[in-house]
Structure 1
Amino acid sequence: MTGNRSFEDLVAEGVAVPTEGWDFSWFEGRATEERPSWGYAVSAGERLARARAALDIQTGGGEVLDFALGRAEPARPVSTAATEGWPPNAARATALLRSRGVVVVTAADDAPLPFSDGAFDLVLSRHPVRPYWDEIARVLCPGGTYFAQHVGPASVFELVEYFLGPQPAEVRSGRDPGRERAEAEAAGLEIVALRAQRLRMEFHDIAAVVHFLRKVVWMVPDFTVQAYEPQLRALHERIEQEGPFVAHSARHLFDVRKPVRGA
């Protein structure tokens, strides 16, 4: 609830909140997002409990991996590594995951994974920018698993198109799970399961919108408060008069296996 706070105060608050990591607890009471039914982090913890060597790709601030490793206790992989491309997040993840014995490697999201062939029997990722299937297949050992939750097509596009206008069909269809499935299979991987859901989101004040767009920078890539002040002010008035701004996220869950030769 805004408590009749001014547009200027709410925007200033949204700008002041740090954006490092993937902890979304600040949004409590200001924005909501329905969660996928499959419970990715809990399921990842169950798989970590059975893994020998695990890798988390694009770990962000390490929060999801930290939770999953906690669920895996007292079992845990003999070795666990994570990659992250943004240095502030890599530093945050290193500090958070050090006590769990996780090695965090700063690696660009579009670069080859800095690990040897067949190094891992479990590769995880939550919301990778793009899955590089050839690299995932390379670092998995035969019989190994890639288990990941991806962002789906046209996710939160109600908000994106509010600021940017209608998007072309090729943009709206990006991150299509069917296309990603075909790419995984082309890399020699087997799809064990693929599930998809669209989930309701609500933004209860303009501070939540500002912080979300600052944190999830690919939604409106050139976003600044100054550049979009008229749209932000109009949206603030709309929320005050009509209630929460509603959008829908898209998520899909991949359970993928690298075949054993001759099996």
Structure 2
Amino acid sequence: MSQMTRSFDELVTEAEAAPVEGWDFSWLEGRATEQRPSWGYQRLLGEHLALASAALDIQTGGGEVLAGAGNFPRLMVATEGWAPNVAKATRLLHPRGVVVVADRDEPPLPFADEAFDLVTSRHPVTAHWTEIARVLRPGGTYLAQHVGHSSVFELVEYFLGPQSEEVRRGRHHGEARAAAEAAGLEVLDLRFESLRTEFFDIGAVVYFLRKVIWMVPGFTVAEYRDRLAELHELIQREGPFVAHATRFLIEARKPGRTDA
């Protein structure tokens, strides 16, 4: 049955029941699309891992991105703070020889100074630059894809109303550069892209907001039911709801030479 012919209640009930652990968005196939960044983060991640001897993936989620990146160095560690994701990442990554560490995603990182020659992350909630610099060896690299400023804010502001300029500039790539440099890192590469995103039915919206919990903090269907119903009618009448995700790639190096 086409999603366009299903009722609001059917779509919402289905989306509320869908599991949201991990960072796998395959449930949205056919229901939402997001343009991919041109740089291909997972490919770049694999290339860097192939050259590393000791690597750390911060906030690994369910481990899906790391697992698909290719061969791992002799020492490969991943951290994650949300218990359901810790369990999922452990099941996925332990058979590959990856040590999964449950960590609150707050400083300090539970590792010694200069423990890794590569630190990576895909969509960290917060980048603790001083800690990243501390655990990197001299000559080591931080490679990450971050969510940029005002990402999917068309959807955020649909539910929360207009946001302040301060809020809209949160996660700005320029501020990430400044913070990395303030921690003593040299930024080698910084690229930003705005990516068209479409939601084809209200179930996709509900699932997305349940999974990406910081978009509309405290989101529940009960709290936003009237606004959801209005959006359902809008999609039925005018077609997909269009927003724009923002992403930036950052590669930074800790000055000095590494023996790795």
Give TM class, smaller chain. Answer: over 0.9
Is 1:5 the counterpart of 2:6? The answer is yes
Q: Which residue of 1 aligns with 2:164?
A: 168
Take 2:115 and 2:48, find their aligned partners in 1: how far apart are those partners?
16
2:139–2:254 CA contact under 8 A, matched in 1: yes
- The structural deviation recorded for 1:102 is 0.5
Take 2:163 and 2:4, find their aligned partners in 1: how far apart are those partners?
34
Q: Which residue of 2 aligns with 1:35?
A: 36
Q: Which residue of 2 aligns with 1:14?
A: 15
Q: Which runs of 5+ in 2 are unaligned?
A: none
Letter in 2 for 1:146: Y
SS, match of residue 77 in structure 2: strand
Q: Deviations over 1:19-59 (max 9, x none)?
A: 10000111110000000000001110111111100000000
Q: Which runs of 4+ in 1 moved over 2 A?
A: none
Q: Deviations over 1:32-89 (max 9, x none)?
A: 0000000001110111111100000000000000001xx33xxx30110010010110
Is 1:255 the counterpart of 2:251? The answer is yes
Q: How many residues align?
A: 257
Q: Which runs of 5+ in 1 are unaligned?
A: none
- The structural deviation recorded for 1:109 is 1.4
Letter in 2 for 1:138: R
Match 1:147 to one of 134, 137, 143: 143
Letter in 1 for 2:6: R
- The structural deviation recorded for 1:219 is 0.2
SS, match of residue 49 in structure 1: helix
| TM-score, normalised via structure 1 length | 0.96
Q: Which residue of 2 aligns with 1:188?
A: 184
Q: Which residue of 1 aligns with 2:107?
A: 111
Take 2:178 and 2:184, find their aligned partners in 1: how far apart are those partners?
10
Letter in 1 for 2:169: S
SS, match of residue 194 in structure 1: strand
Letter in 1 for 2:235: I
SS, match of residue 132 in structure 2: helix
Q: Which residue of 1 aligns with 2:47?
A: 46
Task: Note the aligned Cα RMSD (angstroms).
Answer: 1.1
Aligned-residue identity in percent: 66
Is 1:236 the counterpart of 2:237? The answer is no
- The structural deviation recorded for 1:129 is 0.6
SS, match of residue 112 in structure 1: coil
SS, match of residue 237 in structure 2: helix
2:116–2:135 CA contact under 8 A, matched in 1: yes
Take 2:4 and 2:201, find their aligned partners in 1: how far apart are those partners?
10
Letter in 2 for 1:154: S
- The structural deviation recorded for 1:3 is 4.3
2:209–2:215 CA contact under 8 A, matched in 1: yes
- The structural deviation recorded for 1:112 is 1.1
